[in-house]
Structure 1
């Protein structure tokens, strides 16, 4: 068994600063901020106009032994030290034979086609397999790309391109595919390679970068790969199966705690920049076609604190029903079967999965952000999240769709400013 493993170290510079600031007199010149905090504060917002932005979370990665990891955790500014674990694409599912694949029916059922909002002025992040930036669906957009996989920018899988197209894609050959096609600025974090694999280190780094990019919406159609970690430990590091399972469980638990800590630190920035709405696919592991009770709970990170977990809906003769594969206990639901969007390399393709439902909600969140900016309530992540969840519709759902399967209901685009 190897002595060294890859670890992720999360630091909160403010934690150490707060300790140093204890007992200090507040400085009027620092706007009421303890002097030591003010001195270390980050840049001002709006090009030097507005409040100082305190230091955000810091991430380091290193190959450490277990003892070295414990030592690192004793440092004053360290919030968490976790072993990096695999993450994996929430892979699309095969479409039912009668699934709609010739039009973007999801645009209509979330009401994006009748919303006066387009997502203009809202910045979105897509953490996925990258993007085909040359696709006509993204013409004229400012795409900031960052590769964390070592493959380089681009999308050798196609999943990220498809998801991005649903969120903000422009019309392709006269066919509308994007929910929020007024979005002009996006951060594309490539955290999954062409095989759909990555690590939690990549995801954490991309989340931090997205926060630094001041995005308002983050879309993630990925999950922690617990079986993949067990397999790696057994096959690559010669762990006995029982020990591999125990280590994987601990890695799963600690990485979830790390994710929650990072999300909490990002939320603390909301008082300065409004915060970020994080949308994640609930997962495709349920098998209702085998038995109605063959339901698997929403996966991590969708169920983590601060995320909006999205379930997938499909069309049926009596209305929208939950997709057989969609994991249970989402916060909200959206179209996820026979979703037509951009295909890497050009043209359009239809895919199914909660991965396809997630970008519908991310696009709707961008529309709600724009609506919030024209309303009377504070334009922040809390307002957008609460109004989006509260506006979810039950009309259009088939009789018998359970709350545990559809959450608050079908995501709906705003039709007026938030009042």
Structure 2
């Protein structure tokens, strides 16, 4: 960069302003300039949207995980091509209007090279990302400043106008977004101002026309935004910053004003939207960012053009004392409006990510698993787990208490969730009792997006037993053995449940006992079961719904909402797992008020905790092992990352202590999306799934009393939860005997006879695609009854 910039000293060192008349004008160079500058923001936005889409595809499907490299490769291609093109433009142009402008473009384009590292920081590392953004922008600013032998003019003309325009542009972001932690906000502000500072020394107003200047400004801001933003934030920057190019041109040549305007707009994008939350599987935050960005773009174009026209007519600068005073009055008024709108209509408060601290010493319940009486076993497990956590966490809790650090202790995994950022993390990593610290991301508030909710298309209950129920033989169990799951309690951890749905209402345990011990919402603290997303209502209907949609219609249920929105974290998943093991009253203390006598017999888990939610492969392993030792059957859907091998990667489905379920369709073929083994993320090589069940076009209950179809291993897992309920209802001596129950299901499974031409089918039995075969609950119940 230094060599190139030194060669432009003759241009950069001249304090040229738009009112001066450049020499060597050429119509051809003007046309070329406009040909490149005008479409650049739109073309760059489309290019990065495509790259972002590839990255989103990699997140949603493990079989396409290699597409994650599209972002870094795409940015590298941009850096090489744009730097080459702009170098040619700068080197060979003889038009004094554009040579300094191209020099600024070149500096902005070169920023993509150091910014490449941002694409490799991984998810949930936004504070480190902000620090790196600050560093590279500051270093680049120093380099650009030093290659100039003439001091840059940092006069503060038009500063009030810059503050006014920035406040206008920030209003949509403040209304639709939300703060992270105070540290997140501070780092976001500094990162934005650093970007603004760099932009101020790269932008040149040398064309003799402020409208032409604006197109040059837009190109600089586009190149900087595409480089500095990451994980989706680049889309916000590419959209918003160039839309204020006319506004920046209006406040130039005051570099202080330009820095302020660009810096505050960039800072607002960083502060109010967490890049990690802009993923498509979550949906709601991305929709809000799209809305906020759209409004900001419109405002930027309108107020920018108005400001540019006024400045062109009245002249730039603050002018007289009265004009200067009026300018600051207007700026203060705009900021007061911004603050008022935020506190009356925005998301007040801080919503920063947290840390999940896993302790070195995990409880050993191997002795508990030998207790024959299931109630005594669960009581002893609860006693040992809570006692071990209290004792081993005592010193760390005391330290947190003395410094006022908020935390939540856990016992099913000996762990704590801690409110803190990078500094707290560094402290914890040096504590001898701490094994590791992983992210526990907390979503910022957002209104539900109806398009992402599972909704039904039919209002009337089905008249016939559904094909998936008949396929596994559940209806024959009802008819021949009069076994429907009576006496078995299902624990449902999902998006919630519509307790008023006719398929679910009568079997809710809280109908007779109340919602205490039967409903827990760690997200919003609601006091009775509800379901915004629909996923939980659908999966629960497949387990125990009436009218031919559920496998075990005689079972009862209670529930916990661990996925009110479509991204959770280790702590939220553990909140519900502890509630399933030892339910407690609402507002109760899990360590003191838990009642394992009310524990679920079978847990359905149609969810996974991937890296983007903070989990590493073994984050929840102690919880799964402890539940098994306590005699609770844990059913888990394998995930929807197929059809490639080794796509069972996220807790809980990879664990040996859980029963993992793959999905087939009505013709007996493996679903392409069904995740496959063997498991390699924990170096175990174990084969998963354990069994397969219907999971394509499953008809079940949806919120509001309706019915609809859905596909996924999330729909397959509930069949197995219902199967366990039928088995344990048929032979209560099986309750808590996980090993024997699993063996019965495996021994009576039907062989897989479907298509094997697509995807991974490694291994014999168990197989990487379908495990031990296709579940046959009729054969299983028939065996336990000795028929």
- The alignment's TM-score, normalised by the length of structure 1, stands at 0.70
Question: Is residue 787 of structure 2 the alignment partner of residue 406 of structure 1?
Answer: no
Q: Hey, what's the Cα distance between the residues in 1 that align with 2:721 and 2:771? A: 16
Shift of 1:62: 1.8
Match of 2:466 in 1: 104
Shift of 1:331: 1.3
Instruction: Report the secondary structure of 2:721's partner residue.
Output: helix
Match of 1:149 in 2: 523
User: Map of 1:4-403 to 2, 5 A cutoff?
Assistant: 6-9=354-357, 54-57=383-386, 58=389, 59=410, 60-64=416-420, 65-70=424-429, 74-75=432-433, 82-85=438-441, 104-115=466-477, 116=481, 117-140=483-506, 141-143=508-510, 144-150=518-524, 152=526, 153-169=529-545, 171=546, 175-184=547-556, 186-193=557-564, 195-213=565-583, 214-226=599-611, 228=612, 251-253=614-616, 256-268=617-629, 270=630, 275-286=631-642, 294=644, 297-301=647-651, 302-316=653-667, 320-329=668-677, 330-374=689-733, 379-394=736-751, 397-398=753-754, 400=756, 402=761, 403=767
| Distance change >3 Å, CA 14–CA 409, structure 1 → 2 | closer
Instruction: Report the secondary structure of 2:660's partner residue.
Output: strand
Shift of 1:215: 1.4
Instruction: Report the secondary structure of 2:769's partner residue.
Output: helix
Question: RMSD of the alignment, in Å?
Answer: 3.7
Instruction: Report the secondary structure of 2:475's partner residue.
Output: coil
Shift of 1:128: 0.7
Structure 1 stretches lacking a partner, 5+ long: 17-32, 38-43, 94-100, 230-250, 288-293
Confirm or deny: 8 A CA contact 2:438 2:615 kept in the other structure. no
Q: Hey, what's the Cα distance between the residues in 1 that align with 2:699 and 2:727? A: 23
Shift of 1:183: 0.6
Shift of 1:51: 7.2
Instruction: Report the secondary structure of 1:415's partner residue.
Output: helix
Shift of 1:404: 2.2
Shift of 1:349: 0.8
Q: Hey, what's the Cα distance between the residues in 2 that align with 1:326 and 1:133? A: 29
Larger Rg: 2
Confirm or deny: 8 A CA contact 2:374 2:736 kept in the other structure. no
| Distance change >3 Å, CA 11–CA 118, structure 1 → 2 | farther
Confirm or deny: 8 A CA contact 2:362 2:622 kept in the other structure. no
Instruction: Report the secondary structure of 1:206's partner residue.
Output: helix
Q: Hey, what's the Cα distance between the residues in 2 that align with 1:11 and 1:372? A: 39
| Distance change >3 Å, CA 309–CA 6, structure 1 → 2 | same
User: Once structures 1 and 2 are overlaid, which stretch shifts more, 380-389 or 305-314?
Assistant: 380-389
Q: Hey, what's the Cα distance between the residues in 2 that align with 1:296 and 1:12? A: 28
Shift of 1:406: 1.1
Q: Hey, what's the Cα distance between the residues in 2 that align with 1:109 and 1:295? A: 27
| Distance change >3 Å, CA 51–CA 201, structure 1 → 2 | closer
Deviations 1:262-298 (A, max 9, x none): 2223334x3xxxx1111111112226xxxxxx55622
Instruction: Report the secondary structure of 2:634's partner residue.
Output: strand
Instruction: Report the secondary structure of 1:389's partner residue.
Output: helix
Q: Hey, what's the Cα distance between the residues in 2 that align with 1:166 and 1:280? A: 14
Shift of 1:352: 1.1
Instruction: Report the secondary structure of 2:417's partner residue.
Output: strand
Shift of 1:418: 5.7
Shift of 1:374: 4.9
Q: Hey, what's the Cα distance between the residues in 1 that align with 2:380 and 2:569? A: 35
Confirm or deny: 8 A CA contact 1:86 1:224 kept in the other structure. no
Confirm or deny: 8 A CA contact 1:103 1:340 kept in the other structure. no
Q: Please identify which structure carries the higher strand content.
A: 1
| Distance change >3 Å, CA 118–CA 312, structure 1 → 2 | same
Instruction: Report the secondary structure of 2:729's partner residue.
Output: helix
Confirm or deny: 8 A CA contact 1:85 1:252 kept in the other structure. no
Confirm or deny: 8 A CA contact 2:702 2:708 kept in the other structure. yes
Higher relative contact order (CA 8 A, sep 6+): 1
Shift of 1:334: 0.4
Q: Hey, what's the Cα distance between the residues in 2 that align with 1:295 and 1:46? A: 40
Aligned residues: 336
Shift of 1:120: 1.4
